[in-house]
Structure 1
Amino acid sequence: MTIQSILNDTATFLDHLGLGEEPFGAYYSDSKPEDAYGPKEGTPISRELEDRGEVDMQEVMKTFSCVIGNIWLARKKNGAAFISAKQYGCLGGVYYCSMMKPHLRFIEHYVSTGFKGTPLHGERYMPSPDAMREFMLKVNPRKAPGKYCIFKPLSQFSDAELPEFVIFFARPEVLTGLFTQTVFTTGDMECVVSPFGAGCTNIISWPLYYKEQGLEKAVIGGFDPSARKFMKTDELTFTVSLSLYEKMLAALPESMFNHETDWKSVRKKVERSAKAWGEEQE
């Protein structure tokens, strides 16, 4: 499909869903859009430097910048967000977005139970550093095919530069439509998954994981407490590969949206939700 046909069908899909915000696309490139939102260049980091005790975490945190936070700015400004190996912003994000391997050991403690005998008690999202290490090794993002990992609105792509993944930001009623359309398209009762991860893990790392295995999976995310501040109340993410998304669009004519189904009652709830949050479409 051409980008214009994708956008035309996306407009139809969004109308069916009652979603006023277009999805974002994620891709890798050696150049980034002008005025893209992203981290400042940080102090050098690597496992090798960490093992030698040469990573100053106080300096690292001076340029902290969350991937989901930068996407939040891009969403509000209709712009792009990025992360790179040098402009990393977050020790987890730089790994999850394929910008640095292997991960720093520090993150194993930071996301779990911290370091004993220190003020760092950890985020307590995982029960132990060992459990966090297993998760990091399981996700194991591939080597990035470009200098930058970039996220921008679907309408800003072209036939010369297509997204690798398509990311929706939506509340439960709209997610009902996205979920059901994915199942209708694939016929797979387990085609939608929601594994543990940071906000950025579930919009790029896990989708990459399933794609590399040749599996068509949609990934629901947004359950990371640290990323919630950069998302609307009640909002989650829903990410699919471009190839699966094209199939979902092609399946629209025969889907529940174009027949007498219970979607009509759900669609009314979508409208009530939008009204409650002051997000009615014009």
Structure 2
Amino acid sequence: MNTELATFLDVLGIQSEPVGWAYEDEQPEGDNAPAQCCMPTLEQEKKGEADFSPAFHNFSCLFKHIRVMRLKGGTAWCSADHPGCPGGTQYVGYQKGPYDFIARYVTNGLPEGMETERYLDGPDAFKNLFGCMDPKPASAPYLAFRRVGDFAALGREPEFVSFFARPESMSGLHQLAAYLTNDAEVVASPWGPGCGNLVTWPRTYAATGRVRAVLGGWDPSMRKFLDMDEIYMTVPLRLYHDMLERWSGSFLGSSTWNNQRKKIARSHAKKK
């Protein structure tokens, strides 16, 4: 981690290095990825030929692998052949969607007696929101997640950067994004699964040409892979660079933020 980033994180009271991510042509180093598995296509499902049992037998939430990477370093990755999750592989662009099965599983559309997530009121509601999310096709065979410093060590840059922090620190990132863009709606927090707010929505917003930061961490199914009270914000690379270069001219260099830093310190002490 370089000095510029270390200083910025210290001011915010963020204790973990941000995670960068990018689509890449070559298989990333290491084996911190979901197991190899063949995921059915949307066309197979429409024909009644889809078999999801291998996918669920090899189920592995992307956030589990990101958690390991955050703690131990290295690279977490996924691909069309290493999907991890029938929903996740569509959100990150390796399968066209939405699967009807996932639309029923996420809502309340499976047969009585089968447990569903019930996050939305019916499969049609999910399909409408999936259309709003508009997951973009993956731009390369592999999606890699690393600490931002590890991207730099490889001589590469991520496409997006995700900060993981508790709300006291996240308030600084939230307000800083507005300071840098003069956009009252620069921070979005739409409905979505964990990987939807981490990957899908940031890519969808980026495709419009408008700079947006996306808050996530609201999906109860993946919160077990976050620290207590932790949420995350994903920003495009150019906003990340602006944050590092211009934060000192903002409220983060003021007495107001110094008072907030005292609360952040109490928050960390309480967490221990």
Give me the TM-score of the superposition, normalised by structure 2.
0.95
In the TM superposition, residue 114 of structure 1 has moved relative to its aligned partner by: 2.5
* CA distance in 1 between partners of 2:120 and 2:170 (Å): 27
Q: Which residue of 2 aligns with 1:171?
A: 166
Is 1:13 paired with 2:5? no
Could you tell me whether the CA contact under 8 Å between 1:182 and 1:192 is conserved in 2? Answer: yes
Q: Which residue of 2 aligns with 1:191?
A: 186
Shift in CA distance, 244/57, structure 1 to aligned 2, threshold 3 Å: same
Is 1:107 paired with 2:98? no
Q: Percent identity?
A: 38
In the TM superposition, residue 184 of structure 1 has moved relative to its aligned partner by: 1.0
SS of 1:262's equivalent in the other structure is helix
RMSD: 1.5
In the TM superposition, residue 121 of structure 1 has moved relative to its aligned partner by: 4.0
Could you tell me whether the CA contact under 8 Å between 1:37 and 1:82 is conserved in 2? Answer: yes
Could you tell me whether the CA contact under 8 Å between 2:92 and 2:136 is conserved in 1? Answer: no
Could you tell me whether the CA contact under 8 Å between 1:36 and 1:79 is conserved in 2? Answer: no
Which one-letter code corresponds to 1:207 in the other structure? P
Q: Which residue of 1 aligns with 2:260?
A: 266
Which one-letter code corresponds to 2:173 in the other structure? L
Is 1:135 paired with 2:136? no
Moved segments of 4+, more than 3 Å? none
What per-residue deviation string (whole Å, max 9, x for no partner) do you get for residues 163-209 of structure 1? 01000110011001111111111111111110000111111100001
Give me the TM-score of the superposition, normalised by structure 1.
0.92
SS of 2:77's equivalent in the other structure is strand
Which one-letter code corresponds to 2:258 in the other structure? K
Structure 2: runs of 5 or more not aligned: none
What per-residue deviation string (whole Å, max 9, x for no partner) do you get for residues 94-145 of structure 1? 01111111331111101001323x4334211011100100111111222211
* CA distance in 2 between partners of 1:180 and 1:115 (Å): 42
Q: Which residue of 2 aligns with 1:88?
A: 83
In the TM superposition, residue 257 of structure 1 has moved relative to its aligned partner by: 2.1
Is 1:208 paired with 2:234? no
Structure 1: runs of 5 or more not aligned: none
* Pairs aligned (count): 271
Shift in CA distance, 8/106, structure 1 to aligned 2, threshold 3 Å: same
* CA distance in 1 between partners of 2:146 and 2:113 (Å): 38
Which one of the candidate residues 246, 249, 261 is aligned to 2:244? 249
Which one of the candidate residues 133, 139, 150 is aligned to 1:156? 150
Q: Which residue of 2 aligns with 1:120?
A: 114
Which one-letter code corresponds to 1:62 in the other structure? H
SS of 1:166's equivalent in the other structure is strand
SS of 1:251's equivalent in the other structure is helix
Is 1:234 paired with 2:223? no
Which one-letter code corresponds to 1:20 in the other structure? Q
Which one-letter code corresponds to 2:209 in the other structure? G
Could you tell me whether the CA contact under 8 Å between 1:24 and 1:166 is conserved in 2? Answer: yes
Which one-letter code corresponds to 1:11 in the other structure? A
* CA distance in 1 between partners of 2:74 and 2:249 (Å): 34
* CA distance in 2 between partners of 1:130 and 1:121 (Å): 18
* CA distance in 1 between partners of 2:143 and 2:231 (Å): 21
* CA distance in 2 between partners of 1:44 and 1:203 (Å): 22
Could you tell me whether the CA contact under 8 Å between 2:106 and 2:120 is conserved in 1? Answer: yes
Is 1:53 paired with 2:66? no
The 10-residue stretch of structure 1 (118-127 or 237-246) with the greater mean CA deviation from structure 2: 118-127
Could you tell me whether the CA contact under 8 Å between 1:114 and 1:120 is conserved in 2? Answer: no
In the TM superposition, residue 250 of structure 1 has moved relative to its aligned partner by: 2.0
What per-residue deviation string (whole Å, max 9, x for no partner) do you get for residues 213-254 of structure 1? 011111110000100111111000111000111122221221
In the TM superposition, residue 160 of structure 1 has moved relative to its aligned partner by: 4.2
